[in-house]
Each structure stands twice: as C-alpha cells, then as structure tokens.
C-alpha cells in the first residue's frame, strides 16, 4: 500500500476509518492488513470499552530526591518510598500489556544487570539496546545502569525497504560507540547478526536470556559517571553520540519537574519512541525519577489510531505529555467526532509541543477542536530543546498557552512589525543559559536574529569519541532571537536559503506547500543550490497517487508565499530520505538532487539476504539435517541473488563453500579475466560456483533449460541463453563472439548438461568458434570432485574437497 500507492500512515488511517463506517463498528488497524476475509477482520476486532482507571488517587508524592547523584539512586528512592505504586502502564492497542510497580522495576533491573555481568560486561562498557517500547527496554536500560555499563539505545528496524539504510546507520553508531554487547529480540536476530559481523559487537543476547543469572549488586557511581550515549537521528548528517552523565541528566530532569510544577496528582502519557531523547528522558526517565506514573504506548500504536493517545488521558486522568507539532496536527484535523465520544480531557494541564518547528495554526486548531472535550487553551506548552543539552532548554510559562508575535524579519536579521507568525519557545530553564550571537560570536541584543548558543550543567562536554568543547557555550546550529527574555526560533543556519540577498527559511515554504491537495504530509523539502553567485530555490514534493500534476500549483504557492520563482520536482511516494523519527533529511535530499539520485527505495534483497545468511551461519552447528539442507540451498540461492544484484563474489563464494564444509583447491595460475573464454567439464550443479571462485567476473553460456534450474535461476542476467529452435544457436554464438570482443570473460560447458555416468562426453564447438572469431584467449579447466559432492539428482552438497 505504501510503496505502490503512496498510502502513508495518514492515508492508512483514513482507510481504516472508511472500513469502520461501512462495517458500523471499530476494527483493529493491524487486522486490516492481515485478515483475508471480512469475517476474520471482525473476529479480530473487539469493541473498545472506555473505562477510567485511577493511578494517583489519595497518594502522597514523596519529596523529590534532590540528594540523589544518579538515575539509579533516584529510582531506588522511589522504590523505597512507594514500593507498590505503579511505575508505568504499558498499553498494547486498547488494553494493558504490563503495569509493574517501582519495586518490581528495580527487582527486574537487578536481574538483567546480573545477566550482563555474567556476559563479562564491566563498568564503563557500552551495551547497545535494540528493543521496541516494552517493559524489556526499561529493565535492560536500568540493568545497564545498575552495573555501571553505558547504554546505547538503537532504533529497531522499521521497514524492509529501508534495510540498507538501517544497517549502514546502526553500523556507524556501533562502530563509534564500541559496544560489544547487543540486547535485542530473537525476531531481530538476522539484522543483529549482520550488524555483529560489521562492527565491534561480540555478543548478541535477549532480555529473556539475561534474566536467569541471579541479582547484581549496584555499581558504585557518582554524578560524573557516564549513564548512556544518545545518538542524534542524523537529519543534518551522520549520527553523532551525545555522552550524558548522571549529572547532565538529573540537572535537566529536576529543571523539567520545576518547569512542569510536577505534583502528586500528575500522570505522564507518551507514545514517543524510546530511542529519542524526548521519549526516553523527558517522559520516561523524568517520570521515574520524580515518582510519577507513566502511561506509554509504542509510536506504531499512536500512528495506527491517534485517538488512543487522547483516550489514555481520558482513561488514566493523564496530566502531562510531550509530542512534536505533527501529532497535534493529526489530532486536530484527522480524527472524526465518532472517535471522540465520551472523551474527557479536563485533567490535561501540560501539552508540550517541541522537537520540530511549532506552527501557530496547529496550536490554534488543536485548542478549537478539543475545547469541547475539556482541553484548556492554557494547556498548550511550546518548548525548545536538543539532545546536546540533554533535552530541555526553554519552557513556556504554565497556563499561558501559545504566544505568537506578528513580525517581519529583514534581510539583515532585524525584526520589524509585520505579518509573519513567530511562536515563542518560552524562557530558559533554571540551570540553562541562552544567548544569540552573530557570525563572529559576539552577543546580539533582543530583536536581532543570530545563532542560538546554550550553556549549563546539562549541556554535554563534547560528542562521544571527539575532543571536548572549547569554552562553555555550545552552538546549537539553530537560528533565533530573544524578545522580552523569551526565545523565538526561526530555523537552522545550514538550511538558510539566500536568494537575491533575501534570507528564506525552508520550513515556511515547506509548510505552505504541504497544505496543497495531493501533496503527501511531511514529504516536502526546500533548499537552495548555488547559481551565478547566489542561490536558486528548489522544492521537492512527494505526490499522492493520481496527483502527479502538481508542479504548477506548487510554483504558484511558492510565488505567493515568498514572491520568488522556484524549481519544482514532483516525486513518487517514499522518495525523500527520512530519519527514524520521520524528519526529512534535508542535506541528503539536496545531495541526491544534485547527483540525480532521487529514486524511491526498493526492497533491499541484498541486505536481507546478507542478514539471513549471517544469522543462519551462526546457528548452523545446532541445526538438524533437514535444516542444514535448507541452509545449504539458502546459501546458494542468496549467493545467486547477490550476483544478480551486481555484487562482487570474490569473498562471498569462498566463504560460502567454507561454511558448507567444502574445500576448494585451485591448481595452476588462472588467466586474466578479460577477452577470455573458459571451457570446463560439467559433472555437477556445483560447477558454476566452483568456476566463480576462481573468476568472479564470469558470464555463463548455457541451455535455457539449465538456466531455469532453481539453483541457477538467479544468474539469468549473466547468461547467454541457447534456446531451441531454428537459428537460435547461431544467435547465441553471435552474442558470445560480440561479448568476447568487448572484453568479457565467458564460461562454457562444451559437454552440455550433466549426467550421472562418469567420463567426458562429446564437445560442442560453439565456444571454440567464438574464441577464434573474436581473437580471445581460450582457458581449458578440469573440475575434479564435484560429482562426488553433489551428483545429479542430489539436492544437498556433501562435505569434502
């Protein structure tokens, strides 16, 4: 649906809605894509029962553990003060999957920590965690902290067509972090095994395997101990590691508690991914450290049915949340009134909006839509933060709502009265300093745009594995201005587009184009490219199916917004590269545009095959005969798949034979693989593989019937086929002669097909005639032993030489 028709998460949401309208009852959004019949869909879709659940009634919130030096001490304090209080509620669809108390969370963390110790993990060593939103994630994360290890959260693979991007980016993270252990689910074993072979990983394990090793003593840590490394999503380049100490984290967490005015009646609700700083630190670690219940669901649950997020506030009397602007936009514009029946949002008091540009129209629309359900305008809470500052930098005053200023930003960075809307990100936190500087680093006064710099105890000292920052101020790369002590953001320095002396911020253009009918939400990017000493404006936009004639409408929209002509490129769905959190990679999009490399991703068979082979090879000693047979054929077929994708097999084929227990000995010196025709005896289906071990560049000439064999079918692109019929042999001979003249390396089995009886058969003369006609060289090869390893009629090769 998404690859072929461009039906993204919003369109799939609409599809589910229409099905519910036709069927007259709610349906499960996952069952829509798995059920084969309507009856099966209905049986898997249970009617939702709305029911309020009390998490905080009548309890006394313990004092904030300000004396705690580490996240662990803060968690243990909560377990001692309120051992039976629910720490988190994990929502699985419309029901609860788990609801552990603080004492249970600590106990499980101790067990997981013991399992890591048993693997040889020592304090300070990095442990990668690739788990979805689950109780396992939290227990493994705190288990790492319990023994003094450094957690490295990784995002799980989201989609098969992004397998290559996933492997390359996670490999870069693992190489940078030096993690030796990866904790993941068995279902992710193939991808994990491939990552192990490419990086410093030594061990892959699962939460279940770690849980049976007793309990571990708590490590002796202080506030300067490294807690975990948070990797940026890479929307502006290669992911970088942000090393966060316990002091960094607790300083920011206590400031967040002050900014939120957290109290005993508060309940945090979140769907944010746990590999993201706002989801892990802001909603999860912050809740645990303050002793507040956390109601959490995976991002896929929110995207599948956004009303679940709002229902969680109603059901659990949620009071606080954090989410990017697009989440509020979806709820404001995409939900139907029928989904909101009985909704009560009167308990909600903090709706933090951050992590991406905040649109005044979105905040206004959300308030208007949900005021009838008890949502108060003052609940809207714009904020600013970044991973390099742990998380939060500035907060809106509680209860004020969204502050919007109508101004004009001049080309020299000054602010005047105007009609452009700028949303305030609030005041700096208690232990955070913010300033605006010009290109030389000099501080600017209010109402002047410049680069945003931050300083404070929660700001990192430098990226992981890189030199420490010089000076106390960290350059965020963002542009903004101060007004009455509050921070207003205008964009990012590296994204600024300068056309005819005018400074243009791409987000304003992108937001305007995204309103056009037929443009996919979140799939627009604008940037500048060098042109005659200035820049020209380029806009890329993905179109929904049936809306490819959008270029003129986009040009008109850009002309209306910024008064400039733009080069517009309309793209197929899923062409623009994105980060795991869904942000368009602007720099990478620009580079692909310049290299004419904007194409939709395809299912990466190469990387999936590599992942499968890597996992199977590690499991081979434990497999049964039947499984080894399947493995043997899987290896061969995957190997052909690599060749079909144009991948070199200089290392793949010898490794494959090595894994199968087959030893190859090459006697003599193979001729250079150019203008060469290799002729060999043919006794087994292994023979083409054996020749490829010596000449990876070979192309084969064989009968059409042989090329259809399952083992050889993947080589079709490398064949010259000899078909039956008048003149077909002459045509194949002409193709082979032409290929040899162009410098190809050809392989021919002059005997034709294989037979069970030993000995040579009569040779066909085609190879000799083509060699003579082309002036190429002829290389006779004798293959010995292949018939014994895999004779005709046998499907599994034996071990041997």
pLDDT digits (tens, 9 = 90+) for 64-75: 777 889 999 999
Co-location of 483 and 517 in the same domain: no
For residues 660 and 493, the model is more confident at 493
Tokens 């669901």 sit on residue: 297
Nearest to 758 by CA among 797, 792, 793: 792
Is residue 773 a part of any domain in this protein? yes
**610 — pLDDT class (breaks 50, 70, 90):** low
For residues 789-799, average pLDDT:
69
User: Over 90: is that where the pLDDT of 200 sits?
Assistant: no
DSSP bridge pairs for 475: 453
Could you give the maximum distance between any two Cα atoms of the chain, in Å? 96
Are 570 and 543 in contact by the 8 Å Cβ rule? The answer is yes
User: Over 50: is that where the pLDDT of 762 sits?
Assistant: yes
pLDDT, mean over the chain: 82
Helix (H) or strand (E) holding 106: helix 102-118
For residues 318 and 758, the model is more confident at 318
Q: For residue 457, which phi and psi values (nearest 5 degrees)?
A: -70, -15
For residues 787-797, average pLDDT:
71
Q: In the structure encoding, which two tokens stand for residue 343, read together?
A: 């909704």
For residues 226 and 713, the model is more confident at 226
Co-location of 452 and 508 in the same domain: no
Residue 534: give its domain's CATH number: 3.30.300.30
Given 451, 469, 494, which residue is the final one in a domain? 494
Q: For residue 604, which phi and psi values (nearest 5 degrees)?
A: -80, 80
Co-location of 122 and 22 in the same domain: no
> How many independent structural domains does the chain possess?
5
Residues 6+ apart with CB under 8 A from 541: 513, 519, 520, 523, 524, 525, 550, 554, 568, 569, 570, 571
What pLDDT digit, counting tens, does each position of 555-608 carry? Answer: 988 888 888 888 888 888 878 888 766 678 888 888 888 887 777 665 555 555
What pLDDT digit, counting tens, does each position of 706-754 carry? Answer: 666 655 655 444 557 665 555 667 788 888 888 888 888 888 988 877 7
For residues 307-324, average pLDDT:
94
Is residue 66 a part of any domain in this protein? no
Residue 454: give its domain's CATH number: 2.30.38.10
| pLDDT for res 532 | 65
| pLDDT for res 764 | 85
Are 103 and 202 in contact by the 8 Å Cβ rule? The answer is no
Is residue 528 a part of any domain in this protein? yes
Given 454, 476, 494, which residue is the final one in a domain? 494
For residues 46 and 42, the model is more confident at 42
| pLDDT for res 581 | 60
User: Over 60: is that where the pLDDT of 533 sits?
Assistant: yes
Q: Dihedral of the CA atoms 241, 246, 248, 251 (nearest 10)? A: 150
Co-location of 283 and 140 in the same domain: yes
Co-location of 35 and 104 in the same domain: no
What pLDDT digit, counting tens, does each position of 463-491 carry? Answer: 998 888 888 899 998 999 999 999 999 88
For residues 34-51, average pLDDT:
64
Co-location of 489 and 566 in the same domain: no
Co-location of 446 and 484 in the same domain: yes
Q: Dihedral of the CA atoms 163, 622, 648, 598 (nearest 10)? A: 0
In angstroms, rounded to a whole number, what is the distance separating the alpha carbons of residues 412 and 409?
8
For residues 531-542, average pLDDT:
81
Burial track 133-169 (b if 16+ CB lie within 10 A, e otherwise): bbbbbbbbbbbbbbbbbbbbbbbbbeeebbbbbbbeb
User: Over 50: is that where the pLDDT of 550 sits?
Assistant: yes
Nearest to 589 by CA among 657, 555, 539: 539
| pLDDT for res 643 | 44
Tokens 């087959």 sit on residue: 662
What pLDDT digit, counting tens, does each position of 14-28 carry? Answer: 777 778 778 777 777
Co-location of 236 and 159 in the same domain: yes
What pLDDT digit, counting tens, does each position of 690-700 carry? Answer: 887 777 778 88
Nearest to 423 by CA among 328, 311, 287: 328
Pairing verdict, β 181-184 and 126-130: parallel
For residues 289 and 617, the model is more confident at 289
For residues 482 and 336, the model is more confident at 482
DSSP bridge pairs for 488: 424, 481
| pLDDT for res 1 | 58
Co-location of 537 and 553 in the same domain: yes
Is residue 485 a part of any domain in this protein? yes
Helices 687-694 and 625-644 pack at an angle, to 10 degrees, of: 50
CA distances from 511 to 17, 356, 358, 525 (A): 26, 12, 11, 9
Given 576, 599, 620, which residue is the final one in a domain? 576
Is residue 434 a part of any domain in this protein? yes
Residue 764: give its domain's CATH number: 3.40.1010.10
Residue 171: give its domain's CATH number: 3.40.50.12780
| pLDDT for res 642 | 46
Pairing verdict, β 88-92 and 95-98: antiparallel
Angle 6-92-154 (CA atoms, 0-180°, nearest 5)? 70
Nearest to 774 by CA among 737, 726, 725: 737
Give SS3 for 159: coil
Is residue 692 a part of any domain in this protein? yes
For residues 241 and 545, the model is more confident at 241
Is residue 48 a part of any domain in this protein? no
Co-location of 303 and 448 in the same domain: no
Which residues form the domain of 771? 645-789
Least confident of 150-154, 402-406, 702-706: 702-706
Q: Is 496 exposed, middle or buried (0-12, 13-18, 19+ CB in 10 A)?
A: middle
User: Over 60: is that where the pLDDT of 639 sits?
Assistant: no
Tokens 């420490």 sit on residue: 468
In angstroms, rounded to a whole number, what is the distance separating the alpha carbons of residues 768 and 250?
78
For residues 618 and 447, the model is more confident at 447
| pLDDT for res 59 | 60
Give SS3 for 537: strand
Least confident of 220-229, 484-493, 525-534: 525-534
What pLDDT digit, counting tens, does each position of 407-461 carry? Answer: 888 878 888 888 888 999 999 999 999 999 998 999 999 999 999 999 999 999 9
Residue percentage of the chain with pLDDT more than 70: 79
Co-location of 205 and 255 in the same domain: yes
Co-location of 273 and 172 in the same domain: yes
In angstroms, rounded to a whole number, what is the distance separating the alpha carbons of residues 75 and 139?
12
Are 306 and 335 in contact by the 8 Å Cβ rule? The answer is yes
Residues 6+ apart with CB under 8 A from 462: 243, 468, 469
DSSP bridge pairs for 703: 722
For residues 214 and 204, the model is more confident at 204
In angstroms, rounded to a whole number, what is the distance separating the alpha carbons of residues 297 and 133?
7
In angstroms, rounded to a whole number, what is the distance separating the alpha carbons of residues 377 and 366?
9
Is residue 723 a part of any domain in this protein? yes
């Amino acid at each position: 649906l998404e690859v072929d028709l461009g039906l993204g998460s919003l369109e799939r949401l609409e599809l589910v809605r229409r099905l519910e309208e036709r069927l007259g009852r709610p349906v499960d959004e996952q069952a829509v894509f798995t059920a084969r019949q309507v009856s099966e869909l209905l049986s898997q879709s249970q009617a939702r029962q709305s029911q309020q659940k009390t998490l905080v009634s009548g309890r006394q919130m313990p004092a904030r553990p300000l004396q705690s030096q580490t996240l662990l001490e803060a968690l243990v304090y909560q377990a001692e003060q309120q051992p039976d209080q629910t720490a988190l509620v994990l929502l699985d669809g419309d029901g609860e999957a788990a609801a552990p108390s603080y004492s249970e969370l600590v106990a499980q963390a101790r067990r997981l920590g013991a399992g890591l110790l048993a693997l040889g993990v020592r304090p300070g060593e990095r442990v990668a965690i690739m788990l979805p939103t689950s109780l396992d994630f939290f227990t493994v994360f705190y288990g790492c902290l319990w023994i003094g290890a450094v957690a490295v959260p990784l995002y799980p693979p989201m989609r098969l067509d992004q397998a290559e991007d996933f492997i390359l980016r996670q490999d870069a993270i693992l190489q940078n972090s030096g993690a030796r252990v990866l904790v993941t689910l068995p279902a992710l074993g193939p991808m994990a095994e491939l990552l192990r072979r490419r990086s410093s990983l030594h061990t892959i394990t699962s939460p279940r395997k770690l849980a049976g090793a007793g309990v571990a003593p708590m490590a002796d840590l202080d506030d300067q101990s490294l807690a975990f490394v948070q990797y940026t999503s890479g929307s502006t380049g290669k992911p970088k590691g942000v090393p966060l100490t316990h002091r960094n984290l607790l300083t920011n967490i206590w400031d967040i508690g002050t900014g939120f005015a957290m109290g005993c009646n508060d309940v945090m609700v979140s769907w944010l991914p746990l590999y993201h700083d706002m989801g892990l630190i802001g909603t999860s670690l912050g809740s645990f450290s303050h002793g507040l219940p956390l109601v959490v669901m995976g991002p896929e649950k929110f995207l599948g049915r956004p009303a679940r997020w709002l229902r969680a506030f109603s059901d659990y009397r949620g009071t606080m949340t954090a989410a990017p602007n697009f989440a509020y936009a979806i709820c404001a514009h995409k939900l139907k009134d029928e989904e909101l029946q009985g909704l009560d949002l009167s308990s909600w008091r903090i709706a933090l909006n951050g992590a991406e540009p905040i649109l005044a129209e979105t905040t206004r629309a959300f308030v208007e839509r949900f005021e009838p359900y008890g949502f108060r305008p003052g609940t809207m809470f714009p904020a600013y933060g970044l991973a390099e500052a742990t998380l939060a930098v500035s907060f809106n005053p509680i209860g004020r709502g969204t502050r919007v200023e109508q101004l004009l930003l001049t080309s020299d960075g000054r602010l005047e009265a105007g009609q452009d809307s700028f949303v305030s990100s609030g005041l700096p936190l208690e232990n955070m300093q913010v300033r605006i500087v010009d290109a030389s680093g000099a501080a600017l006064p209010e109402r002047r745009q410049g680069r945003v710099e931050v300083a404070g105890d929660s700001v990192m000292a430098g990226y992981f594995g890189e030199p420490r920052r010089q000076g106390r101020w960290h350059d965020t790369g963002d542009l903004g201005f101060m007004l009455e002590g509050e921070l207003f953001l205008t964009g990012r320095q590296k994204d600024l587009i300068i056309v005819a002396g005018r400074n243009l911020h791409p987000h304003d253009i992108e937001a305007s184009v995204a309103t056009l009918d037929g443009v996919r939400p979140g799939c627009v990017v604008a940037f500048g490219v060098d042109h005659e000493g200035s820049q020209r404006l380029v806009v890329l936009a993905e179109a929904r199916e049936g809306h490819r004639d959008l270029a003129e409408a986009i040009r008109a929209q850009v002309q209306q917004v910024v008064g400039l002509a733009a080069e517009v490129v309309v793209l197929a769905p899923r062409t623009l590269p994105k980060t795991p959190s869904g942000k368009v990679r602007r720099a990478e999009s620009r580079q692909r545009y310049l290299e004419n490399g904007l194409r939709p991703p395809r299912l990466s068979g190469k990387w999936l095959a590599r992942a499968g082979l890597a996992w199977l090879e590690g499991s081979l000693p434990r497999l049964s005969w039947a499984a080894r047979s399947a493995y043997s054929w899987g290896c061969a077929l995957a190997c052909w798949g690599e060749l079909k994708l144009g991948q070199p097999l200089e290392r793949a084929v010898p490794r494959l034979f090595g894994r199968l227990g087959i030893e190859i000995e090459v006697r003599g010196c193979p001729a250079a693989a150019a203008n060469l025709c290799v002729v060999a005896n043919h006794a087994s289906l292994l023979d083409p593989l054996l020749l490829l071990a010596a000449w990876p560049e070979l192309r084969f000439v064989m009968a059409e019937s042989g090329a259809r064999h399952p083992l050889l079918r993947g080589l079709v692109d490398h064949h010259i086929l000899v078909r039956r019929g008048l003149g077909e042999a002459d045509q194949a001979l002409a193709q082979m002669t032409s290929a040899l003249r162009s410098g190809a390396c050809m392989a021919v089995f002059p005997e034709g097909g294989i037979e069970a009886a030993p000995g040579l058969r009569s040779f066909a003369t085609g190879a000799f005639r083509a060699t003579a006609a082309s002036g190429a060289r002829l290389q006779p090869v004798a293959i010995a032993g292949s018939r014994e390893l895999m004779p005709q009629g046998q499907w599994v090769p034996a071990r041997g030489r």
